[in-house]
Structure 1
């Protein structure tokens, strides 16, 4: 009771000086995080939630520029060795001091995570030959292969406290469980709050799937205190109710309102909005490996998706400009490669992916499918902006050239585990570059998976191109920026020419909010309470 009275008094005192400080910030999410466990699934809503509770060694700002976080500085020896100097005086939300031992434990956990979806984050730590902690504030990482983007990659890897497990001396010896003597953490322990111990600006108060996530300010946070005492993250997957809730005063900020509805608030002084271009490419991944694919039916009994002519025909059948204009309401850009033009490793003038239904029909006939075939497109209906509508449109375009396409839409909680098990024939995807360069997509999706799982962790369609594999393996280990840029351009062209991953468009992030707030839109599309501030008076 005393605690409650104290908090109430504190809130009143704060409100007397700053009208919006210490209030609860209510955010309506377009896509709900699937877990509190920061290593469960490398997924934008999950990663955004994790940033509230956990810190990484390195952080990225709204433009994806790197900044010190739990690591105060870092340097590379020009080869395989990276040294990180850790920030002193940081404590976890349970009062335990943050040291290099916690980082070593975190790296180990990514490789001993039994409840993860796919190989989330193991693609980073799988390249570590050795991790040493010579003292509590120093970490030395030696990679098996040179990794020019290690700080970028580590910016996405939340750090856990070793105190959440029973252990002896922690060391990076995965074969011997790294010194962990008890059970490894599982997703349920994070979701119920028991293991959600971080160094971030907020602590988890409660996580109720399908209802709300409540966060409270972390009093032991090492950085500047956030203005919000409590944050409520509310999943509202339909754009209409999100906007209606903002207009009714139920929410303070909403993400991804329909662009067509922004006219309702454009001239209303009670509200504001921001549109920020993102690096997220929306695309379709095709099953190009199996002779019989689960959701393809053809008269010859084969899998037509193995034929390059069929895949190119599918791309030619899609009117990207119309999808951007009519479905995305102009809040997107047609995609002709896997990262927006002008970013590192992209083609300066990519060839436009044409809309040519007549040529598509011609290619299908050449491939022996003049009468078409049956195909099911699998998609989320609550993850990307207008994801199911986009898939419906693509299905209609394919049907118009003779491919009888149907759509199977499902919630992302069902979709992503099924996709990871390779249950689909054509699957929607949406990938935002976590590193700000073309290697992010090209190392994760098209490569033939390597033994260390640092490449091809999401190659669910079985794509294989030996020349591409050779180029991308060289690119991701090349420290010389100019050379790596050229290699990434070459790798991107090779993948595009095979049409195993058909890009559609680049999303823009949209946020609408009450006018007394300032909201910073982020290129990574993360919805962060830390991006919301009271407007200066």
Structure 2
């Protein structure tokens, strides 16, 4: 009898533990193209990094920094910050985390084509002891902590000697993972499934997170992704199409969370490919022909802010009087002045699963340009293929979205606007092939200036130069829209940079 009772109690305990295990099923519009945290500076790469790795520090919802693998930091002088590292942390291989891994990671970031421009400021990293590092910059920089939020320490023992960074290629780091993060990769089927399990040795025992397993399924189509949530097949989705928002709000048991973001959508006009685009009058005409407020109202249903510049109003570079200007008559007159009254044919590429309603926005832009007799050959591609074409500058006009990595105007200018320089990484995403040396000078000055008002003048000067030159076409700052079941507390872990901290996600028991 005692044996039977004991067995029954064990079975009950097993049943209870199974019931309490929480699996989170996610459907986003695309999955990460690589497991290498340094291969591509992109939103999905950083989302994955927050799952499998851990940063030295991270942004909180209130815009302040939160210690992670660095427990605290101290500025020693104008060019040096000391970071004190967390002890008793292990990588998923079992290797102990130490200062050597931080030094290794920063040195690797300085070699990354995508991250190089951000980390070029770091002159060296020196070991003080096993859990202390000093980061030395080549000059004073007001954004060093912002930059260090992108240091996700890698397992030096695991990666060293086969850590080549190959964009869109096969490498050891693109297929294998050893981080200190809250989850461990279990299975990956590129383009169809990503499965992770809770890291039983995760250092953060104070986290309220109770997700034991994540099953991530990329679903490109907005309607299919929403249908998966409404049917109960998934628990959490991003993004929600603006046309589905009102419908989603009316569904019992589903919550909708929206946040304005500083992600700017823009068009690059390649001056190296097309002589027409070297004429400022043509670039200005293209700007004037695109009706940003109409795109936001009709296609995005108001879930974005029309832009006349790159810097949102929370950034130092923002200029209040630079608003989007739609003037079809003036655009036609400029085309005539430039000698293109009859227009010309041009190629354009855009993604179809990267930004909110990106394909529809691209189609609307093509139609608008048709009104000034520019015939657009539009091609849209899934994100993974699109950015390979973007890197090759494969079309005359290309769409890009950019979230400032440092929450500052200068990050936009360094990557999108600066004269391209493979050695420093500047202009890595400048598909306009636009080069204005005075802008590069202002970027350098702003990176060294510690006085906020003086920095503001440099950054605003860049915005005015871009506006005068019609160098790019600012479109809008895109809102972020998530939906989830009511018992999945996503409001506590999402942020305006769209790196949900899923390690801290709490799912309430129904």
TM-score between both structures, scaled by the size of structure 2: 0.92
Q: Tell me the distance in 1 between the aligned counterparts of 2:51 and 2:325.
A: 42
User: Closer, same or farther in 2 for the Cα pair 1:373/1:9, shift >3 Å?
Assistant: farther
2:229 alignment partner, SS class = helix
CA deviations on 1:288-310 (whole Å, 9 max, x unpaired) are: 2x2xx2xx5xxxxxx21001110
Q: Tell me the distance in 1 between the aligned counterparts of 2:452 and 2:107.
A: 30
Q: Tell me the distance in 2 between the aligned counterparts of 1:122 and 1:400.
A: 41
CA offset at residue 222 of structure 1? 1.1
User: Closer, same or farther in 2 for the Cα pair 1:214/1:337, shift >3 Å?
Assistant: same
| Aligned pairs for 1:193-208 within 5 A | 195-208=176-189
1:337 alignment partner, SS class = coil
CA deviations on 1:130-182 (whole Å, 9 max, x unpaired) are: 2111211111121223322111112123210101145xxxxxxxxxxxxx5x6
Q: For structure 2, which runs of at least 5 residues remain unmatched after alignment?
A: 1-10
Partner of 1:262: 245
User: Closer, same or farther in 2 for the Cα pair 1:11/1:131, shift >3 Å?
Assistant: farther
| Aligned pairs for 1:16-415 within 5 A | 21-112=20-111, 119-166=113-160, 180=161, 184=164, 188-192=171-175, 195-224=176-205, 226-288=209-271, 290=272, 293=273, 303-347=275-319, 349-415=320-386
1:517 alignment partner, SS class = coil
CA offset at residue 229 of structure 1? 0.7
User: Closer, same or farther in 2 for the Cα pair 1:514/1:183, shift >3 Å?
Assistant: closer
Whether the 8 Å contact between 2:285 and 2:334 is mirrored in structure 1 is: yes
- Do residues 494 (structure 1) and 494 (structure 2) align? no
Q: Tell me the distance in 2 between the aligned counterparts of 1:269 and 1:23.
A: 22
1:355 alignment partner, SS class = coil
2:34 alignment partner, SS class = coil
2:309 alignment partner, SS class = coil
1:458 alignment partner, SS class = coil
Q: Tell me the distance in 1 between the aligned counterparts of 2:311 and 2:17.
A: 44
CA offset at residue 78 of structure 1? 4.4
Q: Tell me the distance in 2 between the aligned counterparts of 1:9 and 1:109.
A: 50
Q: Tell me the distance in 2 between the aligned counterparts of 1:503 and 1:9.
A: 60
Q: Tell me the distance in 2 between the aligned counterparts of 1:111 and 1:518.
A: 37
CA offset at residue 451 of structure 1? 6.7
CA offset at residue 526 of structure 1? 2.6
CA deviations on 1:287-346 (whole Å, 9 max, x unpaired) are: 12x2xx2xx5xxxxxx21001110010010011111001111111110122132133332
What RMSD, in angstroms, separates the aligned Cα atoms of the two structures? 2.2
Aligned residues: 494
Partner of 1:170: none
2:262 alignment partner, SS class = strand
CA offset at residue 535 of structure 1? 4.3
Partner of 1:427: 398
CA offset at residue 368 of structure 1? 0.8
Q: Tell me the distance in 2 between the aligned counterparts of 1:509 and 1:398.
A: 28
Q: Tell me the distance in 1 between the aligned counterparts of 2:345 and 2:369.
A: 10
1:369 alignment partner, SS class = coil
User: Closer, same or farther in 2 for the Cα pair 1:9/1:163, shift >3 Å?
Assistant: farther
Whether the 8 Å contact between 1:80 and 1:147 is mirrored in structure 2 is: yes
CA offset at residue 10 of structure 1? 7.5
CA offset at residue 12 of structure 1? 3.6
Q: Tell me the distance in 2 between the aligned counterparts of 1:81 and 1:278.
A: 31
User: Closer, same or farther in 2 for the Cα pair 1:204/1:307, shift >3 Å?
Assistant: same
1:213 alignment partner, SS class = strand
CA offset at residue 491 of structure 1? 1.6
CA offset at residue 440 of structure 1? 1.7
- Do residues 13 (structure 1) and 16 (structure 2) align? yes
Whether the 8 Å contact between 1:133 and 1:139 is mirrored in structure 2 is: yes
